[in-house]
A = this chain, B = another copy of it.
Amino acid sequence: MKQTGLAAWAVVAILLVFTVPGLAREKAEISPQSRSCLGCHKNATPAIVTDWQNSRMSQTTPAQAMKKEKLERRISADAIAGNLENVVVGCAECHTLRPETHADSFAHAGQKVHTVVTPEDCAVCHSREREEFSNNLMAEAHGNLMGNPLYDALITAVNGRLSLDENNGLSQHKPDEQTNADSCLHCHGTKLTVEKTAERQTSMGPMEFPVIRGWPNQGVGRINPDDSRGSCSACHPRHRFAIETARKPETCSQCHKGPDVPAYKVYSVSKHGNIYNAGKASGKWDFSAVPWTVGEDLEAPTCATCHVSLLTDANGRVIAERTHQINDRLGRRIFGLPYAHAHPRSADTTKIQSKDGLPLPTALDGTPAEEFLISKQEQQKRTRTLQQVCQSCHSTGWVQGHFNRLANTVETTNDQVRTATQILKKAWQTGAARGPQSGASPFDEPIERMWTETWLFYANSVRFASAMGGADYGVFAQGRWHLTRTIHKMAKMAQSGAGSNRQAP
């Protein structure tokens, strides 16, 4: 921009282009079907409509989206069905897709509408993301939890009602479905099934709607009425579907705040989190740019930066390809079950069996169930992918130092879990507590709860703190202080026989 006699006009022209939305763009039309939805729903559910109007979906057709350069493309399908290509992605475009596959599809205002939009629906435009996501542990989060008999015992111990029996002992009841939906399955995903239809009064008169068991739910591993798995809405919420939201760590915090998976807590006191929290409101970060340029669009990584997003540097060089298989850049699973281990090969973990016959990736003595886990080579490959991201901002020496320290922490925490487990096994042997060998739950008695906390809460926190630099979560806040404190208490309890909550016969 030069200071010539034309400058005033240039300013005006620039202002006009930026303030009259779409002036310079092709026209993006709403389909007649979606217009029909909007006719009533701008009154029935007004903020859904406004939310959608503020979204990228309402302003772009798939045809327009596909014209972008490869790195800038936000949709991955090679071709879009003709009737969807040249209209914006509106209500009908998603909620009437593939009605024959949707058990929740119902006749509504002249269309076959379904309530629950699923990854299979989204895959029409985002086929690659859907594919990657289905290789994700999260996609199987429902089954991996509910189909594992050991985790089932944990759920029962946590969620089931306890009542006093006539001898003042506690009776354990099975948890009800709503309680599970309200707790574990909030994140892991419920199973959605259409129970019946019911008539409801609406502003348009009486109408029939399906009643869906397990609804509402946006868990990542939700089992959908079209039998698909997952919910894109877990990270791309509501009708904005905004990449800006998915890239912010607050989104991940919904399920990863601990104490079992304290990723967000740790991040928020890490240097990365500090820079993010101090900088996000500065107006200088761009959370919507595709590709995402490190240093320019963001000054410090969020969860998505390291684990998901397509990253480039300021010269346009690709630093990491986008992936929706979150463990694609993770060699090791620091979430111990009960020990940290190499990531499982398959997203479905229900088939995993440890050498002691437990449905766990590591045996109680720590031996990994190697045949079900990725190879050393694959681990190294994934770790290198992550390290590429680190090296955008850090020297090789820094990165190596960091990963060496993490490796040491994985080893020492596994070792502490081993000590805790040995104490528990002794308690089971001596009868100080009743374990699985006596047909009892391994998760109900005080010493068993303490053992569970050593790996599920404390060793995990220590490892997350090590991986992401959230020091105190590795020490006084849920870390080594609590890990060693609990082992001391368990040792004492095992000796005194005080671990059991059942009276001696």
Contact = CB atoms under 8 A, between A and B. Distances in A.
Interface in A374-402: 391-398, 401-402
A72 interface: no
A145 to B, nearest CB: 12
Contacts of A282: 244
Count the copies: 3
Given A43-B315, A295-B51, A480 B159 contact: yes
A408 B182 contact: yes
A73 interface: no
A99 interface: no
B183 A449 contact: no
A48 B394 CA distance: 7
A258 B315 contact: no
Given A168-B426, A169-B491, A245-B279, 5 more contacts: A42-B315, A43-B315, A168-B423, A179-B480, A264-B269
A408 B179 contact: yes
A182 B255 contact: no
Contacts of A3: 12-13, 16
A189 to B, nearest CB: 11
A449 to B, nearest CB: 5
A68 to B, nearest CB: 23
Interface stretch (A127-135, A328-336, A466-474): A466-474
A436 interface: no
B216 A398 contact: yes
Interface of A: 1, 3, 7-9, 11-13, 15-16, 19-20, 42-51, 54, 115, 157-164, 168-170, 176, 178-179, 181-184, 186-187, 200, 202, 209-212, 215-216, 218, 237-238, 240, 242, 244-245, 248, 250-251, 253-255, 257-260, 264, 268-271, 273-275, 277-284, 294-296, 299-300, 313-315, 317, 319, 391-398, 401-402, 404-406, 408-409, 412, 415-416, 419, 422-423, 426, 444-446, 449, 456-457, 465-466, 469, 471-472, 474-477, 479-481, 484-485, 487-489, 491-492, 494-496, 498, 500-501, 503
Contacts of A491: 164, 168-170, 501
B419 A162 contact: yes
Given A43-B317, A282-B244, A409-B178, A296 B162 contact: no
Given A168-B491, A274-B245, A258 B182 contact: no
A6 to B, nearest CB: 10
B409 A186 contact: no
A45 B164 CA distance: 62
A396 B202 CA distance: 9
19 contacts: A45-B394, A46-B319, A50-B294, A158-B484, A161-B415, A164-B423, A179-B408, A182-B471, A183-B474, A183-B475, A183-B479, A238-B300, A244-B279, A245-B275, A254-B270, A257-B477, A260-B476, A445-B488, A491-B501
Contacts of A398: 215-216
